């Protein structure tokens, strides 16, 4: 009999933020294919004889192509093994979980989706920035910075600037100059608050706050790079009042792969 594939969200980095179901499945898995931003503390819960397969991806450098990952999911499941695809954040939020589920369905492999806490919400919360607020934000959008240069996606910036209160941008640090220019051109005020949350939810988390017109200089001054979540909107003003996590953390290096 064929095994099963579980697409499990590992959460944003803090290992305590994985779901109870996700942790149980890690403990029971025969094979775990895991991403670069999965906290290695979670892998310590795997069975001693579980096979661990690294599928990490860096910008412009993939340890394993998506097609190969898809192939392995089907291959191991057809051997009758229980397979975990352990993904940072949530499998269906810019994680290609939909593509992997489609591959399983194509080959009649049983699969389940186990949601995880996505960094757009978690990193913001750990920085004291609520993505919604009764007085400041009644709508929010998640967007990937990787689509910069996509002609069909260019029109979205006007809609985002005018219709959405809070914008959370994944994988957007390298495109930040273009993102802020497009938002200003589409009508967003240059004074709009913006925050970058670097290594959100981990012990080295660092939040840098500015405005659309000042943020480029701020991140250069603070040395901010990937991985960072970008949060844009009036709710960023609450960071100064609500930044609970960075008051409590003890500095520690995030020992992640890659």
With beta carbons less than 8 A apart as the criterion, state whether 114 and 140 touch: no
Give yes or no: 148 in active site.
Answer: no
- The residue annotated as part of the active site, out of 4, 171, 180, 182, is 171
Omega into 18 within 30° of 0, i.e. cis? no
Residue with tokens 């898809």: 70
- The residue annotated as part of the active site, out of 4, 14, 30, 35, is 35
Alpha carbon 107 to chain centroid, angstroms: 28
Closest CA to 3 of 103, 142, 111, 139: 111
Q: What Å distances lie between residue 221 and 70, 72, 103, 214, 224, CA to CA?
A: 41, 43, 44, 11, 8
Give yes or no: 16 in active site.
Answer: no
Rounded to a whole number, what is the largest CA-CA distance in the chain? 60
Residue with tokens 């913001």: 124
Provide the b/e sequence for 51-83 (b: ≥16 CB within 10 Å): eebebbbeeeeeebeeeebbebbbebbeeebbb
Give yes or no: 57 in active site.
Answer: yes
Catalytic residues: 35, 57, 171
């Amino acid at each position: 009999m064929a095994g099963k594939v579980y697409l499990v969200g590992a959460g944003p980095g803090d290992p305590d933020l994985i779901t109870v179901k996700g942790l149980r499945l890690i403990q029971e898995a025969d094979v775990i294919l895991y991403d670069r931003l999965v906290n290695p503390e979670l892998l310590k819960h795997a069975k001693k004889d579980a096979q661990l397969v690294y599928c990490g991806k860096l910008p412009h450098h993939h340890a394993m192509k998506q097609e190969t990952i898809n192939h392995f999911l089907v291959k191991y499941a057809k051997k009758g093994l229980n397979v975990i695809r352990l993904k940072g954040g949530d499998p269906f939020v810019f994680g290609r979980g939909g593509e992997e589920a489609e591959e399983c369905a194509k080959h009649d492999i049983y699969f389940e989706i186990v949601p995880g806490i996505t960094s757009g919400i978690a990193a913001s919360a750990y920085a004291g920035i609520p993505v919604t607020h009764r007085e400041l934000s009644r709508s929010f959008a998640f967007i990937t910075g990787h689509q910069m240069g996509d002609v069909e996606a260019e029109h979205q910036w006007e809609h985002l600037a005018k219709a959405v209160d809070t914008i959370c941008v994944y994988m957007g640090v390298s495109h930040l100059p273009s993102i802020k220019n497009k938002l200003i051109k589409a009508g967003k005020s240059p004074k709009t608050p913006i925050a970058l949350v670097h290594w959100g939810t981990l012990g080295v988390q660092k939040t840098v706050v500015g405005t659309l017109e000042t943020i480029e200089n701020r991140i250069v001054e603070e040395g901010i790079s990937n991985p960072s979540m970008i949060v844009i909107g009036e709710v960023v003003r609450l960071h100064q009042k609500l930044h609970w996590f960075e008051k409590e953390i003890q500095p520690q290096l995030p020992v992640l792969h890659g």
